[in-house]
A and B are shown apart, each in its own frame.
Chain A
Amino acid sequence: KNEVEQSPQNLTAQEGEFITINCSYSVGISALHWLQQHPGGGIVSLFMLSSGKKKHGRLIATINIQEKHSSLHITASHPRDSAVYICAVGGNQFYFGTGTSLTVIP
């Protein structure tokens, strides 16, 4: 079993839909990261959070430390949001989820 589990693995949405990607982890962490990898391969760090909630534009990330769970929400999704979203958790070690492949259809 992976230390970090993401769901769903693949997600197709219509433009404008509200999207949620979930991440559960089983290790102690000091921070959780949400990363975005576009089809071209580049990786962008979206959020780093250790508690509560962060918002950046149409993206919202939440974390529940007690439940060891985080969610990434995308409001009013757009085709340019199509990418792989990766959850990563870190403490003494660093673990990655296997990613959620999101496709937003116009």
Chain B
Amino acid sequence: DTAVSQTPKYLVTQMGNDKSIKCEQNLGHDTMYWYKQDSKKFLKIMFSYNNKELIINETVPNRFSPKSPDKAHLNLHINSLELGDSAVYFCASSHGADGYTFGSGTRLTVV
């Protein structure tokens, strides 16, 4: 059983489109995250979310929005995709001092 699963694994889309990446965790963790890893392999946190609080990295454009239908899911919606959005997006979850569990990543390519 995959602990943190992301879909799709690969996503190729045209500029201007709207797309979503889904994330689900079956660990019972209370906090979920989205990270972006750019072409230079530099990781940056985009959002952290638990059932009480959404923390947004202020550098993230408002074209990106997290949606959490329930505690086990945190989906990432991206509007009006731009070339610079091409990256690998990682979902992760955590609970207290247990550390993080990462999804396998979604490689987004905007053409």
Residue of chain B at shortest CB distance from A47: B99
Q: How large is the interface on B (under 10, 10 to 19, 20 to 34, 35 or more residues)?
A: 10 to 19
* Distance, CA A33 to CA B97, complexed state (A): 11
Total residues of chain A contacting the partner, CB 8 A:
19
Known: A41-B88, A42-B104, A42-B105. Is A96-B42 also a contact (CB below 8 A)? yes
Contact across chains for A96 and B43 when beta carbons are under 8 A apart: yes
Shortest CB–CB separation between residue A39 and chain B, in angstroms? 11
> Interface of chain A, helix or strand or loop or mixed?
strand
Interface status of A26 (Cβ within 8 A of chain B): no
- The residues in B between 28 and 66 inclusive whose CB is less than 8 angstroms from any CB of A are 40-45, 48, 57
Residue of chain A at shortest CB distance from B90: A43
Contacts of B100 in A (CB 8 A): 33, 35, 45, 48
Contact across chains for A45 and B41 when beta carbons are under 8 A apart: no
- B contact residues vs A (CB 8 Å cutoff): 40-45, 48, 57, 88, 90, 92, 97-102, 104-105
